[in-house]
Amino acid sequence: MTSSPLFSLEHVGCAYDGQPVLHPLTLDLPAGCVIGLLGHNGSGKSTLMKILARQISPGTGHAQFEGRPLGDYAPRELARRLSYLPQQNADTDGLTVRELVALGRYPWHGPFGRTSQADEAICEKALVATDTARFADRFVDSLSGGERQRAFLAMLVAQDARCLLLDEPISALDISQQYELMDLVSGLSRNHGRSVIVILHDLNIAARYCDRIIVLSSGNLTAFETPVDLMQPDRLQALFGVPLGIFPHPDTGQAISYVR
């Protein structure tokens, strides 16, 4: 992790129709690591993610990205630094995986620019890095859920942004696909130096793959800790309102929670 924050949030909050959905919070998010964002439905996770992705503006406070006000970036400049995968994937009707991944180069050459050999090489590397080269010429709509999510991640990798924002990328996947995708996401950070902020619902997956974990509750920031500090029975019960036990993974010794 680097000492300079990726995001600096100062009293950032948001309300819809006069109802607070994210109460003002002040937080520095480190670069170069995987940060998990957890909380019950309606806790403000997606609202915070959309603020970070500049999909919406905060109602209060200020957000900085890489030392500059988030609102100061031109759209293409921001897209070269930050990529965002929302919950609902874009329409891919008639697109192959290779064509989808090539869309990630849009911020670098614009709608009327030609795809260069350098662009093609970056796309090929993205396909290899995400293990999607084997089905690069298939239509995206023909893929399984896990394969489709990999294809969209390949597009984000081709975008070549150093920060990835992922809103519930594993929510519709079966358990094996969830771990495969998080292995990929973790590898993008640890092996390729990318910063990742990811919304998750599974505490054990968050503890296994994330360097830091944010917990929101009813729009309030209730925790921002390492997995080691968070995975304590009394701490978890206070945060989630359910008695949770902890036991070590038999192979790794990593803490795993279970409902008592």
Instruction: State which H helix or E strand residue 257 sits in.
Output: strand 255-259
Instruction: State which H helix or E strand residue 7 sits in.
Output: strand 5-16
DSSP character at residue 114: P
Cα 255 vs. chain centroid, distance in angstroms?
A: 23
At position 222, the amino acid (one-letter code) is T
Give pLDDT, residue 249.
80
pLDDT in single tens digits along all 260 residues of the chain:
446 899 999 999 999 998 999 999 999 999 999 999 999 999 999 999 999 999 999 999 999 999 999 999 999 999 999 999 999 888 898 999 999 999 999 999 866 677 789 999 999 999 999 999 999 999 999 999 999 999 999 999 999 999 999 999 999 899 999 999 999 999 999 998 999 999 999 999 999 999 999 999 999 999 999 999 999 999 999 998 888 889 888 877 888 888 87
Give pLDDT, residue 160.
95
Instruction: State which H helix or E strand residue 119 sits in.
Output: helix 117-129
Give pLDDT, residue 88.
86
Look at strands 34-39 and 212-217 and give their pairing.
Answer: parallel
Strand order in the sheet with 19-30: 19-30, 5-16, 60-65, 68-69
Residues contacting residue 109 through CB under 8 Å, at least 6 positions apart? 115, 116, 119
If phi over 0 gives left and psi between -120 and 50 gives alpha, with beta otherwise, what is residue 155?
A: alpha
Return the SS3 of 144: coil
Asked whether the CA dihedral 81, 16, 220, 170 is positive or negative, the reply is negative
* Alpha carbons 75 and 220: distance in angstroms, whole number: 29
* Domains parsed from the chain with CATH numbers: 1-81+162-173+192-260 (3.40.50.300), 91-160 (no CATH)
